[in-house]
Chain A
């Protein structure tokens, strides 16, 4: 019955269902428009999150430096908002003209939410204008709290916009059970379609990823301004800003894999075949590429911290640990990037005794990979911890005990991770999947517990010397660019994974893609498309930053009076704790 309906639909769809687009085809046009729109959207949703947090630190900590920083974050948003809207319009026009039948299906089902979406975007834009342009007018007292409330509202509207859009795209991936090709939109129900199986996991995953992405782009901006700085004050300010951006990006990035696990699990629970296509089917090698990218992120993020410790008096006592942390990270990347099954000729497979390499095959399974990534997360957290306390000397009477408890927590987490990693080889797959929860739980508990202890441990800590903001080697700033490029590319890759697992379906098992571009391309082609999207996005972002700088040229006084950054990394870390 299902195939009959699909064929009837296909026959009906063939006429006028698709239009052609020059050179890159309809799929390529929609791909670029959707991805670039998403990149801008992630930026304008991520930056307000930490703009409002930074402003709160300035208000409640009575420190104007943070207020200035928050305003600088927000300045970057203004033009980016317009770019987001423009690319959203481009995407809508491409969909209506290139995929009219599909668009009719989506619009008839989601029309009410589309009206709300437009209204919210309108309100969100004007809230931003009020937030930015009212900054200097509402500077003190209750007016300042009111201004901060505008920042909170900006985040609320932005999050609501994201939740609605996520409802549309997750419906395409996991439509509610019982929806078939013949189901009428009114039978599906708007809320039923939005609150589908993967909606909430995607919401959480994107919420965190937006903060990661926004942080990395801001850090790259600060890196550029650092390299272009002409005065020591400017260098110090943008060195600090780069550190804050990187701190936000890496600290939120650490929790992103946990949201990813949940999303993957929900995809499997919704439809085993969809899950297998994603992890074991034609997309299985995508995860090797993902491991390569995440390896770059871990290494570049840690490298930036290690180099940055050179400008903190007292950090030299932690230098001997760096090589061991580097070793753990490199080994982790190698294990994570080991393929599960090898594609080879019949002779090669016969020589190996199967699709698994006799030695490397042991490392290509989830037990090894989960262990590797959890140890990498622990190591990165340790880097942050050492950076944070680099010039701080705890003075609380229980300092020794506190540090010992922290060390034990680290050791226990590592033991739990390794134990379940090894034990996973001796149990069935269904039991092994459950082990990842214990591994993740141990790492998360350690991050939370150690951070909580650290906050009290460093209260009133004695300083070993002031941090020398601005005295950072230039090569460290290129690590910030590497992070921004890799995060952006990774976002494009994961967008391809999420969208591509539907294969030849516009709406999985409900609406077939009957166009001549219905086949989901291989990774090589996808990598070129992703790179085009990244170039377009980064090019436009660079232009936007230049524009925002152009507007500031007249405000020479503001530039000349850049506030000095805080004296200890623990200050900003504490603000973010």
Chain B
């Protein structure tokens, strides 16, 4: 029987060895942890270097923007518009490269490049803001001019106070509904007044379709109910508006949408 035991043992050891061999023969990619930057004397060069590490590592950006085809490749020329540093200033009218990249990273639904799905998440949920600025500096360096400064980085830190203009941490403290719709990026996915994106159900006529409570639920917990016809886009809307808006802003928005019949 010992001969059988040896054969079984050899089979098990051989198989495990083969699995380990195959696993070690394919590309070895480790998921890195975002590192905090030393903000004492941060230079553009340091920001670019840090941004490149985040882009290729902890940010996970290359999964879509590097080798893949799910999103615009930022590292190479796209349709004759150059690399991202060269084309970022021309993406949106009256929007500088820096502002466009910041918006793309922290409110990606606000503008989706034609031909692509709105699959990107708000990167400020997974990366600290100094890392976000580092990525912006790195992307600007790819064919453009780096104008991210230490002041930008400091201003976005909580102690700086100026990075969170909204009372609850949102992009605006205004209670004007249209200003809020623009500032929170709703317009990127929802049609209001005939303009806006087709990703989510239109705000126009929403009051005739949904109750006030249902609208409020949709803002606070978008995953609770998915609008008919938009199942494929489920999960796209960030569930963070409840944290970003003040109670007054939320009620203004709900009233505004409920009145659009």
- Chain A positions within 8 Å of B, measured between CB atoms, are 1-4, 6-7, 177-178, 180, 197, 224, 227-228, 268-273, 276-277, 280-282, 284-285, 288-289, 292-293, 341, 343, 355, 429-430, 478, 481-482, 485-486, 489, 500, 503-504, 509, 513, 518-524, 526-528, 530-531, 534-535, 538
Contact = CB atoms under 8 A, between A and B. Distances in A.
B27 A285 contact: yes
A276 B31 contact: no
B63 A284 contact: yes
Given A272-B236, A504-B31, A504-B33, A526 B23 contact: yes
Given A276-B119, A277-B63, A1 B169 contact: yes
Contacts of B208: none
B104 to A, nearest CB: 14
B215 interface: no
B253 to A, nearest CB: 17
Nearest to B121: A273
Contacts of B16: 485, 489, 531, 534-535
B126 A273 contact: yes
Contact of A280 (B70, B124, B125, B129): B70
Nearest to B16: A531
Contacts of A341: 67-68
A421 B13 CA distance: 38
Contacts of B26: 285, 288-289, 523
A535 B19 CA distance: 13
A293 B120 CA distance: 32
B198 interface: no
A280 B63 contact: yes
Contacts of B28: 522-524
Secondary structure call for the A interface: helix
Contacts of A521: 30
Contacts of B60: 273, 276-277, 281-282, 503
B64 interface: yes
Contact of B63 (A4, A276, A538): A276
Interface stretch (B3-11, B83-91, B145-153, B179-187): B3-11
A2 B124 contact: yes
A177 B125 contact: no
Nearest to A514: B33
A531 B125 contact: no
Contacts of A281: 31, 60, 63
A534 B15 CA distance: 11
A378 B94 CA distance: 57
Given A2-B125, A282-B30, A285-B27, 19 more contacts: A1-B243, A2-B240, A269-B223, A272-B121, A273-B121, A277-B60, A285-B29, A288-B26, A343-B27, A429-B70, A478-B11, A481-B12, A519-B30, A519-B32, A520-B30, A522-B29, A523-B24, A524-B23, A531-B19
A489 B126 contact: no
Interface size grouping (class) on chain B:
35 or more
Given A281-B63, A292-B22, A430 B232 contact: yes
Secondary structure call for the B interface: loop
Contacts of A177: 221-223, 239
Interface of B: 1, 4, 7-8, 11-12, 15-16, 19-20, 22-24, 26-34, 36, 58, 60, 63-64, 67-68, 70, 117, 119-121, 124-129, 157-158, 164, 169, 220-223, 232, 234-236, 239-240, 242-244
Contacts of A4: 157-158
Given A2-B125, A272-B121, A282 B221 contact: no
A273 to B, nearest CB: 4
Given A2-B125, A481-B11, A527 B19 contact: yes
Contact of B8 (A224, A489, A522, A527): A224
6 contacts: A289-B19, A485-B16, A489-B16, A504-B58, A526-B23, A531-B20
B125 A509 contact: yes
A528 B17 CA distance: 9
Contacts of B121: 271-273
A268 B63 CA distance: 15
B117 A280 contact: no
A381 B26 CA distance: 32
Contacts of B222: 177
B61 to A, nearest CB: 10
A178 B220 contact: yes
Contacts of B124: 2-3
Contacts of B4: 227-228
Given A285-B29, A504-B34, A280 B164 contact: no
A65 B16 CA distance: 36
Given A271-B235, A519-B33, A430 B117 contact: yes
Contact of B20 (A430, A528, A538): A528
A426 to B, nearest CB: 15
Contact of B243 (A180, A228, A343, A478): A180
A292 B26 CA distance: 12
Contacts of B68: 280, 341, 355
B122 to A, nearest CB: 9
B25 to A, nearest CB: 9
A518 B11 CA distance: 35
Contacts of A288: 26
Given A280-B64, A355-B67, A482 B11 contact: yes
Contacts of B27: 285, 343
Contact of A503 (B31, B36, B236): B31
A442 B70 CA distance: 28
Contact of A519 (B31, B117, B126, B223): B31
Nearest to A6: B128
A538 B129 CA distance: 47
Contacts of A272: 119-121, 235-236
A522 to B, nearest CB: 4
A289 B22 contact: yes
Contacts of A530: 19
A1 B70 CA distance: 29
A482 B32 contact: no
Given A177-B239, A481-B12, A523-B26, A489 B19 contact: yes
Contact of A520 (B1, B8, B31, B234): B31
B129 A3 contact: yes
Contacts of B12: 481, 485, 535, 538
Max chain A C-beta neighbours (<10 A), residue from B22, B117, B232, B236: B22
A271 B234 CA distance: 10
B58 to A, nearest CB: 7
A337 to B, nearest CB: 10
A3 B128 contact: yes
A178 B164 contact: no
